[in-house]
């Protein structure tokens, strides 16, 4: 598989995940809107929860930026790799949040495609980071 194929597949899955059911009855786009609602109204009783949802917003923005930089073949492979790892782990953490709340059945196909998109983006960054090392 060509190295440019992975990020394109990741981008397609990422986009598709926003239109499919992701959590309970919400599409991925509705989940994103709910995160925006949470960060707009800072809850003084739960600043860590606010920070978690703010992180999800940043994670989605980071995905788009990393994908664009990858497709445009902009350097900074190590930075993109580090951000990709953090973003993937943050998206994966939603699985542990729902498991800890006993709410696993609320996760829908959109969430798993979203997670897979981050895994593929991370894989493409690993491939890109290895190329310069192999060339040296």
This prediction's pTM: 0.89
Q: How many CA atoms lie within 13 A of 53 on its CB side?
A: 17
Segment 107-122, tens digit of pLDDT:
999 999 999 999 999 9
Q: Where are the domains of the chain?
A: 5-131
Q: Over 90: is that where the pLDDT of 92 sits? A: yes
Query: Which of the listed ranges 13-27, 29-43, 72-86, 120-134 does the model predict with the highest average pLDDT?
Result: 13-27
Positive or negative: CA dihedral 5, 6, 8, 12: positive
Residue 54: pLDDT band by 50, 70, 90 thresholds? very high
Query: Distances from the Cα of 62 to the Cαs of 12, 44, 59, 88, 134, in angstroms?
Result: 16, 26, 5, 11, 26
Going by C-alpha positions, the residue among 72, 97, 85, 70 that lies closest to residue 122 is 85
Terminal C-alpha separation, the chain: 23
Determine the Cα angle at 106 with ends 12 and 84, to 5°.
40
Both tokens of residue 101? 């709340």
């Amino acid at each position: 598989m060509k190295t440019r194929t992975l990020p394109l597949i990741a981008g397609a899955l990422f986009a598709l995940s926003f239109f499919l059911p992701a959590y309970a009855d919400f599409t991925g786009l509705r989940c994103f809107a709910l995160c925006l609602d949470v960060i707009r109204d800072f809850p003084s009783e739960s600043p860590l929860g606010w920070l978690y949802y703010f992180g999800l917003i940043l994670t989605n923005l980071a995905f788009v930026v990393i994908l664009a930089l990858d497709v445009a073949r902009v350097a900074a492979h190590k930075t993109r790799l580090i951000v990709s790892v953090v973003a993937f782990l943050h998206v994966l953490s939603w699985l542990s949040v729902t498991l800890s709340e006993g709410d696993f059945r609320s996760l829908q196909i959109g969430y798993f495609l979203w997670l897979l998109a981050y895994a593929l983006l991370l894989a493409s960054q690993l491939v890109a980071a290895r190329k310069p090392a192999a060339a040296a």
